[in-house]
Each structure stands twice: as C-alpha cells, then as structure tokens.
A = this chain, B = another copy of it.
Amino acid sequence: MSGAVLLGVDWGSSSLRAFRIAADASIVEARRTADGVFAGSGPFDARLRALLGDWLDDGLPILLCGMIGSDRGWVHAPYVPAPAGADDLAAALVRAPFDHSAWIVPGVCLAEGETRDVMRGEETLLFGLSAPSDRATVCLPGTHSKWADIAAGRITGFRTYMTGEVRAALLERGALAVGVAQQPSAAAFAQGAAAAVQGVTRALFQARARRLLGTLAPEHSAAFVDGVLIGDEVARESTGPLILAARGAIAESYAAVLTRCGRAVTVIDPEPLAARGLLRLARQAGIAA
C-alpha cells in the first residue's frame, strides 16, 4: 500500500468518497459508498473507520471536505469568508476527534450587500484546478449549482442556483410527475431553455400544459424541465470564458445552452479535482508531504 501520501475524503450529504492520493495528486485507489453525512447513521468515526479499513495501517494523514464539516456534521468547521485562498482554508482546518491525524476543510461564505451565499466541498474542488491563479469563472453543476469567480488563486465570489434540487422536487411528484421513464431529448431541452425567458415558475408549468396538449412527450418532461432550469441559470450569468467542471449528460446539457449563448467553454472532468484540492490544502497546512 505504498505510493500514497494522503487519505482524502469527500463526504457530502448523500455520498462518501475516499482516495489514497499519491504525491503527484493522482488517485492510487478509490472507495465510494452511499453513506452520506445525512444518508447514513451511526457515529462518524465508526463510519469513516469502516470505509478506510486497511488504508489506516499506513498511518497516513487524513483530510476531509464537504458537509462533514457542517454544523450537522462530525465537527463544525466554520465558513471562511470570501475572498478566500488556499492559505486561508489551510489555516482554518479543524481537527477531527479520531485516532489518526484527521482534519476537516471549512466551507466558504459570501456577503455582498444583502446577498449571502455558502459552499462546502466545492471550495476544495476549486483549489484542485490546475491553474486557479488566473482569472476564471468555474461552473460546478449539481443539486446546488455553483458559479465561482477565481482571481489570483482566490475564490473572490460565487453564486448558487438550486437547479438540481428544484428539478428533483418537481419531477418526483405533483403536476410534473408523469410516471414514465424519462429519456434524453435535445429538442425538448431546447424548448425548455427557450421557455425560460418567460420566468422559471411559468416555464415549468408548460412542461405540464404542453404534455396535456400533446406538444411534449411524457418521457421528455425531465429534459424540458432541465432546459427551463439550466437555461435560466446560464442566462443569469455574465458572458466570458468559462470552465465547466462536469461530465456525462449534465455536461452536455450545460454545454448546449452555453454554446447557444456563444459562451466559450472549457469542459473539465470534476472527478480528479477533490483529490487534487485535498492534497494541495493538506500540503499548504503542512499535514502532508
């Protein structure tokens, strides 16, 4: 079990991922379960021990990020205010009560006028970007999509859209639940994105009205809803070069809208970002070699 310098853990609301991370930030080995912070039960130390198991034998330091540091997690790691750099986060790691060296990355919060925003987990992915020192805007789609501005290696601002949560809440039941398996449809997605200019709550209802009146197939309801929500999200953001950290269908959906808006997009794989960010922060904090 040589070659690793850090055990990295991305412990979110609904999933738990652990990595043995090499000195070059590559992932030597990965484990993943559905034992999310709010999904599983039992003491966090026992749950972590169960996942890491024999990985603990090497005595490597452990760095965790995600909702595990929330006020409903293992140990509360209070938000660091933006603008925040890797040095700010590294200085604010919170030690977890574990029989190995284990630390938790804090989240980042934002206050601009009346506006407030928070992230927890995404900051680590952002610091896993290869060249976060230049000015860039990064989109991390998901349950709570984040659009983060990076300048001189710091998170200077960010905006959260509840895209994924609204999608799931509305398709699960109620007027937009259709009870048939959903299929991708670029056409229905484009129709939803076009309808978004009428406003989100109005455009969403058209997923129902168009279905009832026969211009939207029931199995394309989710694609239409995605078009509405992602279309509105992208339209809210200013133009300019964008890094889209996503893969698969969700990457295609965002890229479709962004391209139609004429926005230059670089799509990158989000999978390696957590391990890279965790190693970077661990080194900055002096807990990993």
Residues of chain A touching chain B, judged by Cβ–Cβ distance below 8 Å, are 71, 79, 109-111, 114-118, 144, 159-163, 165-166, 169-170, 173-175, 191, 194-195, 198-202, 204-206, 208-210, 212-213, 215, 229, 232-233, 236
Contacts and interface: CB of A to CB of B under 8 A. Distances in A.
B175 A144 contact: yes
Contact of A201 (B109, B173, B209, B233): B233
Given A201-B232, A209-B117, A174 B170 contact: no
A212 B118 contact: yes
B166 A199 contact: no
B117 A206 contact: yes
In the complex, the count of this chain's copies comes to 2
Given A116-B215, A212-B118, A162 B204 contact: yes
A163 B117 CA distance: 23
19 contacts: A71-B212, A79-B213, A109-B209, A109-B213, A114-B194, A115-B206, A116-B209, A118-B208, A118-B209, A118-B212, A144-B175, A160-B202, A162-B201, A165-B174, A165-B175, A166-B170, A166-B201, A169-B174, A200-B200
B116 A191 contact: no
A234 to B, nearest CB: 10
A209 B162 CA distance: 12
Given A144-B175, A166-B170, A201 B202 contact: no
Given A175-B162, A213-B109, A236 B116 contact: no
B198 A200 contact: no
Nearest to A175: B165
B160 A111 contact: no
A252 B109 CA distance: 34
A111 B110 CA distance: 43
Nearest to A215: B116
Nearest to A210: B116
A277 B24 CA distance: 74
A200 B202 contact: no
Contacts of A236: 198-199, 202
A270 to B, nearest CB: 20
Given A114-B194, A175-B165, A198-B115, A160 B205 contact: yes
A95 to B, nearest CB: 22
A213 B161 contact: no
A73 B191 CA distance: 29
